[in-house]
A and B are shown apart, each in its own frame.
Chain A
């Protein structure tokens, strides 16, 4: 088990190097730092001196991969690749293009993101499983048919509609909660209720349908027939046997996204003005702050890979048949 985890972590390293190379190519090779400086300073009237100064301030005035002018080891370390890209491995995110400390910002903004993403995730899964069990209980009846059709209808509505509609109905029309904003501490609940609710409602359609397929697949198996044959009632079969066995695909599907909850939701956060990592990323994209986007891409990949490792471990925990060697 322990050796397996070590192996998985080692396996993650080449993947992270790949991610690093992709972001490096996208951000520095396709577009030279000169181009970035020009974008930031305005396209037309910009002097070469201003560009040089901008690059120097942010440490972009180095060669990309190999610095032939520097002595000794600095030939490799005094380069953009080493300073800007490889430094991400040490979780040194450096400064954003507007001069703020990215690592500090990330630490600060992680919590509001989590305050929304975690409840959406937990309550969302519970709601979806409940609905899916209900539909599976009434399978092959009109409740099942129309339940599925209803799920498809819910799925077909744009996520933006849920947000805008919810903001209008609950925030503006009924005036139950503020439309957007955030406050630390206990008062935060006013601001997070609506985004959480909308996040859950928006996910019901696809979630319920997905879990229904899992349940139905599980219900076609032999042990369910055995359970029915020995005279167990249908609810008992469903809750005691099917639910327990269906937990394996459900849990493993859920564990992957667990670490990514830190990243927050891009759209929800920026619509509701929540100062989380999602809105941080959007702001960075809109102000074309490449160092933040770079840091977030790397962070996202790291979290995803952690999720993959956790998934493998959770397999062994919920399913005793699986042993990782």
Chain B
């Protein structure tokens, strides 16, 4: 199957972000002062467990960031190639069974029948009202009543074995690497790992990875046969939706900061370094922006964007482009409302720094302003930038859900936890209640935010010089 790659705006920014992170790792690899706080983060058990979880989320998000349009038909005469208007990602390809198993409407987790009764025609021609069988969920079962739970148990059992197998491979690999690095006996290394005496808390890392592997293999094996998290109103698999939403959450959490960072850093340092009227102007700008209630500014901006998009439909060739533009714009406007805090912190820190002798000495030697800022001030405020970036992340992920509820979040066609919650909320009055969309969105969001919070705590403890002294 041939395809046409599509690079959305947010994709490009994600690649940029990944490139920046890789560049930093390569740069910092042999610089001890830069590494020291990270070593402290790496020693924290809580942080490393969170990091493993975050890696899984980031992996899913990255897989979902390579987009393409599959070829639909190839006109043999003109050799003209047509591409589907639907934009897919590599994650869609991996999750093809989940994506294609579409039912008619709601069905509960592991159900074999729809959630609501329908008029059916029985083989003898009579019409009855009953719950119809699902087209995919448990379709391989002869008698769902009898076979369903034994089949689920058997599949889960196999999945657990697979997961354990993968985990063993991983553990052997890790121990192999440790043995070859420390040049010690296998037994000693294993004892150290179990007792947690290694430099990195490998026992916690392996435990977390093992749990995640078990979850992954179970979801994979059961997800092919059943709808593990049920289906939504139009019969889409909820597990698929929740996994697709990972990218949206991550994009909002990271790109928002990426977008606002240059302004916050540049303006904050300039205000603190140049003082005088520069300081006044910058302070005026951020006080003004800050005094507009955040949600309202976002709402106003998104509303005007909506009007703009509706009056200029020709600018977007696919729905995905449109949704992506809105996502990017949401990141920008969230960035505008959230850069002021960081800017103020940086201004204060720069004010303090520029009084210190080494900056005074640099300017006495005739070093230019830009060079002082880049060489002497910027490296010394980076810890503030890093701390506020990691602390902001979880708040932004949570904000997405709230904004989608208000109706000014991501595009309604885009998969996001906020949209899932919003859609499921309308079914709360239903009896019996449709709870699975809501719960899976909340759980996936909770795990990501909790991991991010715990990780950012460790990063803050390691980087904040005030805390480091104590």
| Residues of chain A at the chain B interface (Cβ within 8 Å) | 14-15, 18-19, 22-23, 26-27, 30-31, 35-36, 38-39, 43, 152-153, 155-161, 164, 167-168, 220, 260, 263, 266-267, 281-282, 285-286, 288, 290, 293-294, 296-297, 300-301, 304-305, 308
Contact = CB atoms under 8 A, between A and B. Distances in A.
A8 to B, nearest CB: 12
Interface stretch (B172-180, B210-218, B370-378, B442-450): B442-450
9 contacts: A19-B291, A22-B289, A26-B300, A31-B308, A152-B454, A157-B449, A158-B445, A168-B428, A286-B407
A30 B296 contact: no
B401 A23 contact: no
Contacts, number: 122
B86 to A, nearest CB: 24
B292 A19 contact: yes
Contact of B398 (A36, A158, A305): A158
A300 B300 contact: no
Nearest to B448: A156
Contacts of A36: 307
- Report whether over half of chain A's contact residues are helix, strand or loop; otherwise say mixed: helix
B284 A297 contact: no
B46 to A, nearest CB: 8
A83 B457 CA distance: 50
Contact of B310 (A39, A293, A308): A39
Interface string B278-322: 000000110111111101110111011011101100000000000
A225 B394 CA distance: 37
B156 interface: no
Contact of A293 (B289, B300, B449, B453): B300
B421 A160 contact: yes
B13 interface: no
Given A160-B402, A267-B406, A300-B291, 17 more contacts: A18-B288, A19-B288, A26-B304, A152-B453, A153-B450, A156-B450, A157-B446, A158-B445, A158-B449, A164-B438, A288-B306, A293-B296, A297-B292, A297-B296, A300-B296, A301-B293, A304-B290
B154 to A, nearest CB: 34
Interface of B: 284-285, 287-293, 295-297, 299-301, 303-304, 306-308, 310-311, 394, 398, 401-402, 405-408, 421, 425, 428, 433, 438, 442, 445-446, 449-450, 453-454, 457, 470
Contacts of B438: 164
B304 A220 contact: no
Nearest to A173: B433
Contacts of B295: 266
B310 A304 contact: no
B405 A39 contact: no
A285 B408 contact: yes
A69 B301 CA distance: 32
Contacts of B445: 158
A303 to B, nearest CB: 9
Contact of B311 (A18, A35, A168): A35
Contacts of A300: 291-293, 296
Nearest to A285: B299
B335 to A, nearest CB: 15
Contacts of B401: 158, 160
Contacts of A39: 306-307, 310
A23 B300 contact: yes
A157 B439 CA distance: 12
Nearest to A296: B296
A285 B406 contact: yes
Contacts of B288: 15, 18-19, 22
B409 to A, nearest CB: 11
A281 B296 contact: yes
Contacts of A15: 284, 287-288, 291
Contact of B303 (A43, A293, A304, A305): A293
A168 B434 CA distance: 12
A287 to B, nearest CB: 10
In the A-B complex, the 9 residue pairs with the closest CB atoms: A18-B288, A300-B293, A156-B450, A156-B449, A301-B291, A304-B291, A31-B307, A297-B296, A285-B299
A305 B293 CA distance: 11
Contact of A30 (B304, B442, B446, B453): B304
Contact of B446 (A43, A156, A296): A156
Contacts of A220: 470
Residue of B291, B293, B311, B442 with most chain A CB atoms under a 10 A cut-off: B291
A30 B290 CA distance: 21
Contacts of B407: 282, 285-286
A152 B421 contact: no
A301 B290 CA distance: 8
A96 B26 CA distance: 57
Contact of A304 (B293, B394, B405, B470): B293
Contacts of A164: 421, 425, 428, 438
Given A156-B446, A156-B449, A164-B428, A260 B293 contact: yes
Contacts of B303: 285, 288, 290, 293
B38 to A, nearest CB: 21
B307 A35 contact: yes
A266 B294 CA distance: 12
Contacts of A305: 291
Nearest to A161: B442
Given A39-B310, A285-B303, A159 B398 contact: yes
B300 A297 contact: yes
A73 B295 CA distance: 37
A301 B293 CA distance: 7
A266 B402 CA distance: 10
Nearest to A152: B453
A301 B287 CA distance: 10
A242 B450 CA distance: 31
B443 to A, nearest CB: 10
Contacts of B446: 156-158, 161
Contact of B293 (A14, A26, A152, A263): A263
B292 A301 contact: yes
Contacts of B428: 164, 167-168
Nearest to A286: B407
Given A160-B402, A164-B438, A155 B453 contact: yes
Given A14-B284, A31-B304, A301-B291, A293 B442 contact: no
A267 B402 contact: yes
Nearest to B449: A156
B300 A27 contact: yes
A156 B453 contact: yes
A100 B130 CA distance: 50
Contact of A156 (B299, B394, B402): B394
Given A158-B398, A158-B401, A159-B398, A30 B292 contact: no
